[in-house]
Structure 1
Amino acid sequence: MPAPYLRRIWLEPSRIADRAAYPFCLPFLGDDFELSFDRPITIIVGENGTGKSTLLEGIAVLAGYDEAGGGQGYMAVDHSDAIEKMGGELSKALRAGWLPKINNGWFFRAESFFSVARYQDKVNTEVIPGVPMGTPPDYLSHSHGEGFLKFFEDRCKSQGIFIFDEPESALSPARQLEFLRLMRRMEESTICQVVMATHSPVLMAYPGARLLRLTKYGLEPVTVEATDHYKIMREFCDDPAGFVEAVLAGAS
């Protein structure tokens, strides 16, 4: 069947031991929290601290991935202790509806990319389409952005659910355009589902994606032009010097 495979997630309040504990104290996680996926690509935007990363971590754990990044079978990757991981706790109170259940894919986090890539270069046992078995991927010999894109390119040719947490943090504006083209290839394959959180107006403008804004009130449909990210970048592009001067004047 074509994507999307994960059709719905919802919160089951009876599974929450302590409502005052993080992440269940996040305002958007009300007893009626529910998120449906009706398109191959879903993009979530919102300010820092709203819970975007925690939500994606929860979805990743439901899909069988490590909440710090990786895919099926990569739970033992030595991620940095500095990475905040609360998705495991959230996943305990989430339920998921699949059609059908897919166990393939990856959870990409910029913070844990190097540890995952280092593991891949070391074990060198994964079957990657178009790459002879036993050939080291050698992701770490590339720049961060190039290694990131090569990592995406190698893995996003197969059926699966792919979760991206702010991929633009490793990508220049030009590389973000390449990432858009990768997303188009994934969508056209009909076998890839993408759930992504981003601050990049370039990525959130992907045509045909379901764009949702996460606030303390919950998730709501939004247009690119209505996001704060777009409005700020437009003001900056209209008058870079004047914009920066106004920002600095407001800080004094």
Structure 2
Amino acid sequence: MSEPEQREQELTDAAFWEREWSQVESHPALVSTDYAPHLYGERGLYTRVLQRHLGSCDGVRVLEFGAGGPNMHLLALSKYLHADVAGIDYSPASLDQLTRLFELHGEPLHAIEGDFFTHDFGDDRFDLIVHWGVAEHFVDLVPFLRRCRELLAPGGEMLFTMPNLEGIARATWSRWSPENWSKHILHTEADVSAAADRAGFAVKSHFRFGIPFVGPQSYEDTGRPAMLVAYLQRALARLPKVVPIFHAHGSRLLAGEQGFHLTQLETPPPSSSTP
């Protein structure tokens, strides 16, 4: 698939993300090293998800696609799992925030401004490629996953998550934030498994986890029901403080996120001009 064709498969573009990240003037994660430890600390929800599926990453070369912003996931891979991390994003504003976050924590980072599909990585190959909340912005996952495979070293793996759009958020999110909802594609477990196979991967595990998700905390509709749902989401975000089991268990209806751990097939399928 050519670059213009690939661009047509995306529901967002560079201008969209630069506009979004430029509006984030400040974030508490860029001020304090103790931001939301129940979620992102050494024993926080998301850190435990990484540890559960990856184990030790000491010296593992990691690339994150769409890495910009106050990215606590990538920070956890460096700070707690001791990976050698790099992040690529085409939004300068988001990379500035990512760099500030890593500097605040004194962690090393290789930040790359560029397009994941066209950036020349030279001979660099990675042991692990990750992305969080990116895949659901692509209509067709196959070209995206094929590009990931190109950048993996032999035996390299992928780990990624996306919102669980089959859960309760489907009703609230789509109703009160229709524009935001329209930027997301529901990819089921079967969809991802089929795309992975065509791109030369096998699904090692599919998992759901996280607090119940009823939608983004900032709604386009400012009516009372939407505001109440936003407050509910903020309250739910505190649940792991008292019930820290959400990293390991999640239902199709209630889990906030779903994730996939992919391994490379020994013999990749032949690529074709059509996805």
TM-score range relative to shorter protein: 0.3 to 0.5
Superposition TM-score, scaled by structure 1 size: 0.36
Superposition TM-score, scaled by structure 2 size: 0.34
